[in-house]
Amino acid sequence: MPLRLTRHQWARLLRCHVQGLSAAAIAQDTGLHRQRVLRALTHLRERRQAHVPPVFQGTVEVDETYVGSRWRNWRLARRRRGSTHGRGTAKTPVFGILCRGGQVWAPVVPDLAIRTLFPLIRRQVRRGSIVCTDALRLDTGIAANGSVHRLVHHDQGEFRSRHGTHINGLEGFWGYFKRRLAAKGGIRQDRLPLYVAEYVWRYNHRRLTVEQQVQQLMRLLLKDRKPGG
C-alpha cells in the first residue's frame, strides 16, 4: 500500500473518511499524525481523479457550472477585476456529463470553448447517444459526432421540454457538489480538481454501504502496488 500505511491503517482511515470525518478527527481516531492523514487523503483524491467512468451511452446530460470562493474572501486584486454570473465570470468552470440511471463525470476545465469541451464529449459519450443540453450548449458540435442533440431552454424558463428533455439529473449533482464543497469552508483553487473528483466518486457510489465504499476505495489504492509488492 502507498505512503507506508498498513492495510489495517488504510481501512480504518477510509472508514472515517467515507463517514465524513475531518482530517483532525481521523487523526484522533486512527492515532496517525494529522499531516500523515492529510497526505493520505490527498493521495486518495489523486487516485479518484485518475479514475474515469466507462464511456457513457443511451441518454446523457451535459452542462457546466462555476465554482469559486466568496467575494469577501477574494484577494483585493481579484475583487478589483470583478466577476459576473455565467460566462465571463472569474470563477472556475467545471464541465459535467451525466448518464441517465448511471454515473457522472465532471472535470475542471480551463474554459468553455468548443476546442475544450467537444473532445471531452467525444471521449466520454458513445456515438449515437441522445445528448441533452441547455440552450447555451448549441456550439459544441454534438450532432456532428453522430449523436442526437436535444435542447431545453433554461433562458426561457423551460426546465423540461414537451419531449421530456431535461438536465435535472446533472442539476441535482451540481447542488449536491456545491453543498458538500461549501461545508469545507473554502479550498485553494489549485486543489479544486481533487475535491471535484472526490465528490464525483462519492455521488457515483452514494447507494453503497460504508463498508462497500471502503472496499471500492481499497481496490482503487491497490492499483498503486507493483507486481510482487
Q: Would you state the pLDDT for residue 83?
A: 46
Give the per-residue pLDDT at 144. Answer: 60
Q: What is the pLDDT of residue 227?
A: 47
Query: What are the CA-CA distances from residue 116 to residues 95, 113, 123 (Å)?
Result: 10, 5, 12
* Rg of the chain over all Cα atoms, to the nearest angstrom: 19
DSSP state of 90: S
Nearest CA-CA partner of 70 in 86, 55, 83, 87: 83
Q: Where are the domains of the chain?
A: 2-50+205-222, 59-186
* E-strand stretches of 57-186: 59-67, 92-99, 104-105, 130-134, 148-152
Q: What is the pLDDT of residue 166?
A: 77
69 class by beta-carbon count within 10 Å (0-12 exposed, 13-18 middle, 19+ buried): middle
Report how far residue 45's alpha carbon sits from residue 194's, in angstroms, rounded to the nearest whole number. 5
For residue 135, give the C-alpha cell: 440552450
Q: What single letter denotes the amino acid at residue 168?
A: N
Could you report the per-residue pLDDT of 23-45, keeping only the tens digit for each? 999 999 999 999 999 999 999 99
Which one has a higher pLDDT value, 86 or 3? 3
Count Cβ atoms within 10 A of the Cβ of residue 112 and give its class: 0-12 exposed, 13-18 middle, 19 or more buried: middle
pTM summary value: 0.82
DSSP 56: B
Mean pLDDT, to the nearest integer, of 86-96?
Answer: 75
User: How far apart, in whole angstroms, are the C-alpha atoms of residue 55 and residue 207?
Assistant: 21
Has residue 22 got a pLDDT over 90?
A: yes
**Percent of the chain scored above 90 by pLDDT?**
57
Its CATH architecture, for the domain 59-186, is 2-Layer Sandwich (3.30)
Q: Is 99 helix (H, G, I), strand (E, B) or coil?
A: strand
